[in-house]
Amino acid sequence: MEALRNLFAFMSANSSVLIDKTIEHMQITGTAIGIAILLGVPLGILISYVVPLKKPVIGFANVMQAIPSLALLGFLVPFLGIGRTPAVFAVVVYSLLPILKNTVTGLANVNADTLEAARGIGMTQLQILTRVKIPLALPVIFAGVRISAVTSVGLVTLASFIGAGGLGDIIFAGIRTLNTNQLLAGALVACILALTVDRIGGIIEKLVTPACFKERK
Amino acid sequence: MIRFENVSKSYKQQKVVSDVSFTINDHELVVLIGPSGCGKTTMLKMINRLTNPTSGRILINEEDIRNRSEVEHRKSIGYVIQSIGLFPHMTIRQNIEIIPRLQGKNKDEILQKSRELMQMVGLDPDLYFDRYPYQLSGGQQQRVGVARAFACDPDIILMDEPFSALDPLTRLQLQDELADLQTKMKKTIVFVTHDMDEAVKIADRICIINEGQIVQYDTVEEIMKHPANEFVAEFVGRNRIWTSPEYIYAKDIMVKNPVCVSPSTSLFRCMERMRMYKVDSLFVVDSEKQLLGLVQAKMIQTQANTSIPVSEIMHKDIDGIGPDTNIVEILQKVSEKGINTIPVVDERHVLVGLITKSSLLTTLSHQYLDTSEVV
Ligand SMILES: Nc1ncnc2c1ncn2[C@@H]1O[C@H](COP(=O)(O)OP(=O)(O)OP(=O)(O)O)[C@@H](O)[C@H]1O
Ligand SMILES: [Mg+2]
């Protein structure tokens, strides 16, 4: 009880730093996820149509995902220096796979009869993609984005190692100085942030889900 | 007019459609029917180019369909599939309007048209327009599918087992509605099914397919009466004709050479003829074989003088029926008028045959006694 009171005392005393770092954290995550979506969804669409590209692209994303996160961050420093750029880069690389995979899966899982009907009534390939495939695949695509966003919140805490800022700064400072309150404050906010992102993700996922998938069960 | 010219289709080594040639006339409803896997769907899909023939060609109004843009070609042909194929994420209205909207047609015109189409298939637009397909019953969804096929006013409509997933009652109802619709709209419809009852009910012509080849392509009546071979007979079902008695005509069941006399024949000679042919009535015809009257044995027996000509006592006002009167109408006539013999006359009133109660009985008994030749 005493410990908890101390923690909250610390948090209110340092609220402005905590808020700044949270915003920083969100900025990095947001930028990275934004880029990952802009990259991953079109790439996913591309490899759904150009089948020969599918294996190499997914393979490459798999390999990237397999690199330990700290190792990846370290590896980027010689090329991109320290700071936000390598951090964003690393998060994008990690987020790509779920988004890419879910885009491909989502598009592939659109009912074959629906697609045949679309072709049969004379829609062009582009119209089928934009009016039928993407709307129907959107929930699956967005589920990938949601997974990416939640993992990214965690990954960005590590990015403090290469000077990207964010809540990692508070956590690592707490570890270095053996300040439990500081450590816990950073970790707690990071957790809350991750859960919040997941919740918001869930809400958006519902919004993009066509009515037909919601009630039919 | 849709014409298949030596159309074949193979998947790898397997020949699915082999050397098919036939013509589908404008404004006719042609049913493609045959066992599962015989190539019906493949033939249908070749018409709207969802698949292409391996060899041969398909012409629509004498134009090779390969010369047309794929998308434009499909827009000019309505398409209804078994699984309905409505877009689940679009409302009923959006489903019907999708193609006209993509074509950038006038919004008010589109709306008016889709309202008409909904009414055409018996759905209240105000009630259903904003619903999603999953909120409709299977039968209602299939109706929307049909409405969508009509949205671009196509001359040709392809239907691949559109009613097979429905319960029997809804299916019967939709078949009736389609038949009604067809009499009004006069589209060229190619309809795939494996249900012979369905085919008989809606088709103008039936194309029976087996193993990628056409076994018989003919009117419903011809197919039922003159199956080309054992396969068709088996497939159609031997007693099928009895489910459609309107296809059994007077000319099919009449006695071809009724016993006749000329009007000047004496009653005495009439009696002799009756005795000779073991009949109890005679038709009186002139030299052109035009029907003048009827005389019965009991009418002669009451006459004292048997040397007078038959024309003096014969029944003159007898109703003949045309050779194309169907058995249902004949039975109605027999039961209404209580008559035993009905003369069959052609349009010039020439006597061509005779139907008696006993010949009707013989015909009708065929459906219960398993005899091979029905009519
Ligand atoms: N895309 C394809 N690749 C390979 N074989 C195919 C393909 N489409 C159809 N076939 C084969 O072609 C044959 C005819 O198929 P089709 O779908 O035309 O049959 P059908 O007469 O419509 O049968 P059903 O009544 O079961 O629908 C079948 O043996 C089927 O396996
Ligand atoms: Mg089929």
Query: ipTM of this predicted complex?
Result: 0.82
Q: Whose CA is nearest to atom 17 of ligand 1?
A: B41
Tokens of B94: 């959006």
**Helix, strand, coil content of chain B in percent (nearest 5):** 40, 25, 35
CA of B35 to the centre of ligand 2 (A): 10
Q: To 10 degrees, the CA torsion angle through B331, B332, B336, B341?
A: -30
CA of B79 to the centre of ligand 2 (A): 14
Is residue B230 packed enough to be buried (19+ CB in 10 Å), middle (13-18) or exposed (0-12)? exposed
Tokens of B42: 């493949």
| Tens of pLDDT, residues B260-277 | 899 988 888 888 888 888
Chain A residues in contact with B86 (beta carbon < 8 A): 117
Query: Is B75 close to A113, i.e. CB distance below 8 A?
Result: no
Question: How many CB pairs below 8 Å do chains A and B form together?
Answer: 71
Lowest mean pLDDT: which of A119-128, A129-138, B116-125, B248-257?
A: B248-257
| Tens of pLDDT, residues B82-92 | 777 899 999 99
Mean local confidence (pLDDT), B296-303? 86
Mean local confidence (pLDDT), B315-324? 86
CA of B258 to the centre of ligand 1 (A): 54
Query: Is A114 close to B48, i.e. CB distance below 8 A?
Result: no
What would the DSSP string read from start to end of chain A?
A: -HHHHHHHHHHHHTHHHHHHHHHHHHHHHHHHHHHHHHHHHHHHHHHHHSHHHHHHHHHHHHHHHHS-HHHHHHHHHHHH-SSHHHHHHHHHHHHHHHHHHHHHHHHHTS-HHHHHHHHHTT--HHHIIIIIIHHHHHHHHHHHHHHHHHHHHHHHHHGGGGT--SHHHHHHHHHHTT-HHHHHHHHHHHHHHHHHHHHHHHHHHHHHS-HHHHH--
| Tens of pLDDT, residues B204-221 | 999 999 999 999 999 998
Q: Domain A2-210: which topology?
A: MetI-like fold (1.10.3720)
Q: What is the pLDDT of residue B371?
A: 52
| Partner-chain residue, chosen from B74, B98, B134, that has the shortest CB–CB distance to A120 | B74
Shortest distance between the Cα of A39 and any Cα of chain B, in A, equals 26
Which of B8, B38, B160 for mutating ligand 1's site (highest number of atoms within 8 Å of CB)?
B38
Q: Where are the domains of chain A?
A: 2-210
Residues near ligand 1 (Cβ within 6 A): B 11, 16, 36-42, 194
Query: Does residue A76 come out as left (phi exceeding 0), alpha (psi in the -120 to 50 range) or beta?
Result: alpha
Residues with CB under 5 A from ligand 2 (ion): B 41
Chain B residues in contact with A215 (beta carbon < 8 A): 134
* Per-chain mean pLDDT for chain B: 89
| Tens of pLDDT, residues A107-158 | 999 999 999 999 999 999 999 999 999 999 999 999 999 999 999 999 999 9
Task: Report how far apart, in Å, the C-alpha atoms of B27 and of each of A200, B11, B153, B181, B272 are.
Answer: 57, 32, 14, 12, 56
CA of B40 to the centre of ligand 2 (A): 6
Shortest distance between the Cα of A52 and any Cα of chain B, in A, equals 22
Domains identified in chain B and CATH numbers: 2-244 (3.40.50.300), 251-365 (3.10.580.10)
The helix or strand, by DSSP H or E, that contains position B187, with its residue range, turns out to be none
| B165 interfaces chain A, CB cutoff of 8 Å | no
The helix or strand, by DSSP H or E, that contains position B209, with its residue range, turns out to be strand B205-210
Tell me the whole-structure pTM to 2 decimals: 0.77
Residue B21 above 50 pLDDT? yes
